[in-house]
Structure 1
Amino acid sequence: MQPEIQNNPRFFPWFEDFIGAIDGTHVRASVPIEMQERFRGRKDKTTQNVLAAVDFDLKFTYVLAGWEGYAHDSRVLGDALRKGFKVPEGFMPPFRRVRYHLKEYIDNPPENEQELFNLRHSSLRMCIERAFGVLKKRFCVLDAEPFLSYETQVDVVLACCVIHNYLRGVDPNDAITQEADLEVETHDIRKSLTRKEIREETKECVKKRNSIALAMWNAYKKHRTN
């Protein structure tokens, strides 16, 4: 069990089986002019769309780099699944069309079990935002205009993730990590919930999520009234 969950009453026992998070990010890419339209991602720059999974130690457990910046996340995930990436059984996305992002709750606490679940789900999911933040701050080459072949650019992303994992084992709280964490905390991260819809929700997953949310909400209300 993850100590970040076991030692925090906001998460335990509700999320005791959670092992990490999955999402995508964009890094700069340089491609021939005839290919650039397919690689135009965010802010009209050419990028590659990188899918990654991380654990709560901010270590990358899976990385798929190389997709065009224009590619939808669902296509990238589909490719990862075909290549052998295994989504853990019981993958649990947040409730759709329900408040999710942390800053919405500063002066506006959750009003029901779905909002409380999404709030705490968001807190746990920040591990992947933090991992991406540390990775890009440590390896500025990922946001610089590349001059290597595209195949090498893809390899550079993978190499940076490997080195990142090694450095997390050496000093998990170095100055770069602290600086990146501060930047993540001060930015309002607004992403469409569809980016988190890894696959169609099964009835079993929905039932389990509803059960967790209700139990969490009952404990939350009891704590507030005591």
Structure 2
Amino acid sequence: YAFAQTTEGLKVHGRIIFEDGSAGYSLVKIYNQRAGTNISPASNGFFDLHGYKTDTFLFICKNYSPVELCYKDSVTKWSYDITVYMRHIEVEMNMLVITPDKTYDEIQNEIDSLGVKNTDTYKNVNAYQSPITALWEMYSKTERQKREIAILMNDDQRRATLKELLKLCVKTNLIDLSFYDFDAFIDFCGYTDEYLQQTSFYDLLSSIKQHYRYFRR
């Protein structure tokens, strides 16, 4: 577990400790930037390094902050016994995707497309002509699950469409609502597919403004 030893250099003996109590020593790589080589610590976390004092060693482990080690400014010692602490990265930023705001026409098209899709296997079955099939569709666990999923997907689409509409309402100063309050406001309004599709856009905006006044009280 050692880099090639030099006659005029540095010797470091140490141990790695994960601050969160992990024991994933096999996932750690210790890089010598000058030499372009790397090693892994022993299964108990101990390691031995040999190199020049000007060498920089990097301790790398996925999901942990890298640790840099260099003794180039130290002139009094050539041997060290150390402990390297690996700190877990608490927050990992996801990729941010920015999309342009939708127009009123685009939102209206999405409203028009709302509705739970028919998931029945026999979509055109006539209950009078085929009562057994109709009963099977009604009580079949698989068909019920398919309908439940379709309902949830439509609810998600309605909420996403209303959020786009609220973004435009805020942008045009119709209401002053934080993005973090969108979900609560949508629940407060309780708009259904039927209401959204049967109401003119002007009346819908008026309704949003009216609901906002009561929401803020």
| TM class, shorter-length | under 0.3
Q: Which one scores higher on RCO, CA 8 angstroms, separation ≥ 6?
A: 1
> TM-score normalised to the size of structure 1?
0.21
Larger radius of gyration: 2
> TM-score normalised to the size of structure 2?
0.22
Relative to total residues, which structure has the larger strand share, 1 or 2? 2
